[in-house]
Structure 1
């Protein structure tokens, strides 16, 4: 069994970097609009906090989580927005404190769950601790991109993006199915250059269809934080080319993404799909 510790450390560091981005904002800046329709910076952080709370319940109290999930799913089209709006009504200092405390509690709970090799319920299939942490990192990075775009900040990408690429690759067939399209019969070869310069490769080396480009661009694509026309990704083969039009690393219905030329994507992503489990 692989050691899940690195993804826990990477999630903690990804959250810390986003924390540094928002910690000194004024109340007016917390209210600044982000690329997600009707979502301010406060909504983005509140959404991350809401999902951390849900994850903590799933890990620590299965019965309480199932009750929580049942309540949320009574409004499947609005519970994500409702949770973000509830948190955004808090003052910035209170929201920041709650987000920090929730992150710390979830980190401890995930490490304990990993040590026990347990799995726990989620809105889709049961999750491992490593899968949950990977999904939380993907969401933290993606919503952090929304915050950075709202502030006009250019973030330096890191090799923590490997986790986001992994989810995007695992979600390939789901992206086709979400649009009523048959999944490709063959694997793609994907070769992306990491921020460190390392080449990350996926799929058979002799695959007939392939995708190449910077890893950060693939992450922006699969989280729908940029349009493919604005990214340096290339595809060889009809299915690979089609995937670059529809890729998404999150569960739920197809996202609208962003129009070409937009500096940021058009819509907040729903809950992250687990990279090691089927996607609901």
Structure 2
């Protein structure tokens, strides 16, 4: 007794299969390939996914099978959108160095390794740094001429990148907090232009009373990288991939 499946049954099954399963099924045997590669199965799939390619059949190569046309579009899409590689630099290999200066105060600096900073719960490149335990920061008062710098250093001082260097007009005050932002340059493998990202720093203030006088001092610092395309903070991996172009000395 023959155990082969009638082509009519195969064709009926094939109409309910997705493109990946159709392609896999076509390699089972010659008869399956004949059925699973039929134009009437692939025409709708191809015109739905790659409508800009379908005119090739009518204007250029009328004999081109739809499954071949679909494969051309699928291959092109995969080449244009390769999965991002994992960053070569882990967060724990970085040092964050943040310095604040005003005209009437000496500079105050906090240095935090990547292993000691609080990460955003959603794995965004957004980090909170508590400075309440740093004595010098307790006496620092935010003024209009405050200058802020944020450096990222690769462990072993193999590379340093300045994320931000702002003074005065580079900041604005909203409520009691200070905000600073700086557009980031394009990675060096790009031909000029913008990276599409902005480094941001928020100085969260708290009130202190000293000698009967109330003043606002810095309680914590929040730094992050924002995409100006989506206006969302980028993920940790995206931020690290960006930084590695500047921090790795032999990266090309």
Structure 1 and Structure 2 fold alike (TM over 0.5): no
**Greater fraction strand:** 2
* TM-score in terms of structure 2 length: 0.19
- Which structure has greater helix proportion? 1
Higher RCO structure (Cα 8 Å, ≥6 apart): 1
TM (normalized to structure 1)? 0.17
- Choose 1 or 2 for highest CA Rg: 2
